[in-house]
A and B are shown apart, each in its own frame.
Chain A
C-alpha cells in the first residue's frame, strides 16, 4: 500500500466497504475521523489510522472513549470549520443519539458525515436495529450505497451535501458491504481547507432558537431535499425493463435483485438515497408499472421494512396496487437478506445445487470461545470458586470477549445487555435487595459507560463488587488501545468514590488462583462497594504490538 496509490488519485484498489469509506473521507479533506471500535464499523477508523501513519497526513483519528464523545468531537470540529467524519456500529448510534438529534437542529459548518454500520442477522451485535429509521427520526439525509465503489463515492458526496444543506449526513452500510472487498477507483483528492468558525449562536439550542430551527428543518429544508432527490441522478437508478413484477430496492439489496435477474430483468428501481425518500420518482415508477398492466411491486431491503413502510405511505392512493416484502411474508422479516430469499420472492425457481445432503448429526456448531490462555478464563474460574463459598445471586456482565464467559463450561456470568449495563444493573439489583451482587466489566467498556454507574454505586456504598477486567486492550474488535490501565485505573476507581481499602488488584493467571479466590471472596462478602481489578494481558494483543 503506497502513498501514490491512495493519495495520488487515479489507480484502483481492492478495498473493504469500510476501507472505501475511510479513503473517501480522507480524499474529501476530512481532518477528523472520530470513532469507537465496534464490528462492523471498526475498520473505517482503523484504515484512516493506517493511512495517516503511513503517509503522515496529520489527520486526527484517535479512538474516543465512546460514540457520544466521538460524535461531539466531530460536531465541534465541524462548527470550528473542519470536515469531520464520525463512524460507529449500529448500537453505537444509540449512545450518540442525543448529539445526533440535536446536531440536526444546530446544523453544521464543515461537512459532517455520520457513518453507521448496521448488522442484520447480528453477526456481532445484540440486535439488528436499522439506522435508517434514526436518520428519518433525526431529519437528516441518509445515503445507502450499493457497493464498495458507492461507499467511496457517496462518502465524498455526503460531505458536499452536508455543507450545501447545513445538516449532518448519514451514510448507512451493513456488514456484508463493510466487510467485503472489491475494486474501487478513487477520484482526485481534495486539499484540506477549513471554513472560518461558525457564527456565535449556531450551536446554541435554547428553546426559542431551537423552535425556529426545527420548524425550518421540517418545513423548508426537508422538502427542499425531497425535491433534490426527486431529480438528482445519484439518488435513484432505474432500468427500462418490462416484467410481471416491479422491484424497488435499497443499498446492497439491489445486488441481490440483479443477481437473480441474470439475463431477464424485471423493472427495477434501486435507491441510494433513503431519507428523504424520492417520493415522486417512486410514484412515477408505480405509474409506469400500471401503464404496463403490472400491479405488483416487491420491496427488497436489508434491515427493517423501512423502505417498504415508506413506499406503502407514498403509494397509499394507488388503489388496486399490491406491495409485497417483509411485511407480507414474501421476504423474511428478521435476519440477514440472502440472494436466494430474493429469488424466491421474485417467483423464480431455486437454482439447482449438487444435491449433497449432509446428515445433520455430522455438522456441529462451533460457538466462539475464549482463546486458550485468555486471562478472563482465570478470572472466571476464581469467580466460580467464590460462588461455591458465597451465595452470589446474579453476575451482571457486559460487552467484549469476556461475554463468552456466559457459555459452558464456564457459565460464569448471567447478563449482557449493552455497554455499561453490568454496573448499572448491579446497582438496581442491590437496591432491589439482593446481596453479594457481582458485576463483570472490561476495561474499555468501563471507560465507555461504566464510570457514571460506579460513581452512583460508590456514593451510596451499595453492596456490589465490580470486577474490572484489565487486559489493556479492546480485544474483540481488533486490539485497539484503551484509556486506563494498571495504576491509572486504580486511581480512577478511587476517584469515583470507592474506598481505597476496597479497591484490590489480582493477577489474572492460573498460578494466582488461590490468592485471587481469597481476595475476591473478601470483597464480595464486604457489605459495600468494592472493586477488584483482574489484571492480565490479552494474549493476542501482546503479539500484535510486536
Chain B
C-alpha cells in the first residue's frame, strides 16, 4: 500500500462487521501499517445500524473517525447500510455491498435501495447469500463480502488469508476452510459483476 486507505464497514448488528474489521486490521498490522479502528458497542448494537471505520496508512493516523469525503471504500454487508454513509465517500471511492436486505424495519423500500445502488458508477453489488451458500458457509456472508472487497483493500490476499487462519484457527480446520472458500468465491463474484 502506498498511500492511506480509509474504509467504512457497515451493516446491521449481528452481521459480523467487527470480524471483518479484525481481519483487515490484523493484516495491516502484519504489514506494519499504522492504523486506527473505531467501533460501536452497547446500545448502538441492539439490532440497530452498526459501523466501524478502518484507517490504514504508512504514516501516523490522526483522527480515529474517517472525515467526510475521505472514505476510499465503503463495504456494506447490508445495502441500506452501505448507502447510509455514502456522503463520506471520496470522489474516486468505491462501494462494495451485499444486495441482501435485513428487513427488520417496517418501511424498507428494497427495490428503491438496490436500484439506487445499482445505478451508481462506483459500485460492486453481489448477492452474498448466494455466494455463502455456494461456498457451503451459510454464516459466511460477511466473509463473502470481504472477498468482494479484496481488490480494493491494498493488501495482498495471502496476508488476509494468513490472518483468517489465525483468527478462525481454534474453531477447527473445517471452519477455516469454509471461510477461505467464502472469501475466494466472494472475490470471484465481484470479478463477475465488474464484467
State whether the Cβ of A64 lies closer than 8 Å to any Cβ in chain B: no
CB distance from A179 to the nearest CB of B (A): 6
A355–B122 Cα distance when bound, in Å, is 12
Most chain B beta carbons < 10 A, residue from A43, A358, A366: A366
How many A-B residue contacts, CB cutoff 8 Å? 154
**Identity of the chain B residue whose Cβ is nearest the Cβ of A182 in the assembled complex:** B36
A252 surroundings in chain B (CB, below 8 A): 64
State whether the Cβ of B173 lies closer than 8 Å to any Cβ in chain A: no
State whether the Cβ of A160 lies closer than 8 Å to any Cβ in chain B: no
Segment from A204-212, A368-376, A501-509 that makes contact with B: A368-376
State whether the Cβ of A14 lies closer than 8 Å to any Cβ in chain B: yes
Q: Mark A174-205, 1 if CB is under 8 A from B, else 0.
A: 00110111110000000000000000000000
CB distance from A417 to the nearest CB of B (A): 16
Contact in complex: B39, A362 (CB < 8 Å)? no
State whether the Cβ of B97 lies closer than 8 Å to any Cβ in chain A: no
State whether the Cβ of A255 lies closer than 8 Å to any Cβ in chain B: yes
Contact in complex: A364, B62 (CB < 8 Å)? no
**Identity of the chain B residue whose Cβ is nearest the Cβ of A43 in the assembled complex:** B41
Contact in complex: B65, A176 (CB < 8 Å)? yes
A39–B39 Cα distance when bound, in Å, is 12
Contact in complex: B39, A259 (CB < 8 Å)? no
B138 surroundings in chain A (CB, below 8 A): none
Contact in complex: B68, A366 (CB < 8 Å)? no
Most chain A beta carbons < 10 A, residue from B12, B46, B87: B46
State whether the Cβ of B192 lies closer than 8 Å to any Cβ in chain A: no
**Identity of the chain B residue whose Cβ is nearest the Cβ of A89 in the assembled complex:** B42
B93 surroundings in chain A (CB, below 8 A): 354
* Residues A353 and B49 in contact in the complex (CB < 8 Å), given A183-B29, A362-B109: no
Q: Mark B41-75, 1 if CB is under 8 A from A, else 0.
A: 11111111100000000000111110111100000
A433–B166 Cα distance when bound, in Å, is 63
Contact in complex: A356, B120 (CB < 8 Å)? yes
* Residues A176 and B34 in contact in the complex (CB < 8 Å), given A369-B46, A369-B48: no
Contact in complex: B44, A123 (CB < 8 Å)? yes
Contact in complex: B87, A353 (CB < 8 Å)? yes
State whether the Cβ of B172 lies closer than 8 Å to any Cβ in chain A: no
B61 surroundings in chain A (CB, below 8 A): 182
**Identity of the chain B residue whose Cβ is nearest the Cβ of A181 in the assembled complex:** B37
Contact of A339 among B43, B45, B63, B113 (CB under 8 A): B63
A476 surroundings in chain B (CB, below 8 A): 42-43, 46
Contact in complex: A356, B42 (CB < 8 Å)? no
B153 surroundings in chain A (CB, below 8 A): none
Contact in complex: B90, A39 (CB < 8 Å)? no
CB distance from B181 to the nearest CB of A (A): 26
Q: Mark B161-185, 1 if CB is under 8 A from A, else 0.
A: 0000000000000000000000000
A359 surroundings in chain B (CB, below 8 A): 112, 116
Contact of B65 among A338, A343, A369 (CB under 8 A): A338
State whether the Cβ of A347 lies closer than 8 Å to any Cβ in chain B: no
Helix, strand, loop or mixed for chain B's interface?
Answer: mixed
Segment from B100-108, B127-135, B141-149 that makes contact with A: B100-108
For chain B, the bracket of interface size reads 35 or more
Contact in complex: A366, B104 (CB < 8 Å)? yes
State whether the Cβ of A163 lies closer than 8 Å to any Cβ in chain B: no
Contact in complex: B68, A358 (CB < 8 Å)? no
Contact in complex: A259, B67 (CB < 8 Å)? yes
**Identity of the chain A residue whose Cβ is nearest the Cβ of B120 in the assembled complex:** A356
Contact of A182 among B13, B35, B45 (CB under 8 A): B35
Contact of A364 among B39, B43, B105, B122 (CB under 8 A): B105
Contact of B46 among A258, A356, A370 (CB under 8 A): A370
State whether the Cβ of A226 lies closer than 8 Å to any Cβ in chain B: no
CB distance from B111 to the nearest CB of A (A): 10
State whether the Cβ of A385 lies closer than 8 Å to any Cβ in chain B: no
* Residues A351 and B67 in contact in the complex (CB < 8 Å), given A180-B36, A356-B89: yes
Contact in complex: B67, A183 (CB < 8 Å)? no
B67 surroundings in chain A (CB, below 8 A): 259-260, 338-340, 343, 351
A95–B125 Cα distance when bound, in Å, is 49
State whether the Cβ of B151 lies closer than 8 Å to any Cβ in chain A: no
- CB within 8 Å of A: which B21-37 residues: 25-26, 29, 34-37
Query: What are 15 sample pairs from A and B whose C-beta atoms fall under 8 A apart?
Result: A14-B25, A14-B29, A42-B41, A176-B64, A180-B38, A180-B39, A182-B64, A352-B91, A359-B112, A362-B109, A364-B105, A366-B12, A369-B48, A371-B46, A371-B47
- Other A-B contacts than A40-B41, A43-B41, A362-B80, 19 sampled, CB-CB below 8 A, are A39-B41, A123-B42, A176-B38, A179-B38, A179-B40, A180-B37, A181-B37, A350-B68, A353-B91, A354-B89, A354-B92, A356-B87, A362-B112, A368-B47, A369-B46, A369-B47, A371-B46, A476-B46, A478-B41
Query: Which 10 pairs from chain A and chain B are nearest by CB?
Result: A351-B69, A39-B42, A368-B46, A180-B38, A353-B69, A339-B67, A259-B62, A354-B89, A124-B42, A259-B63
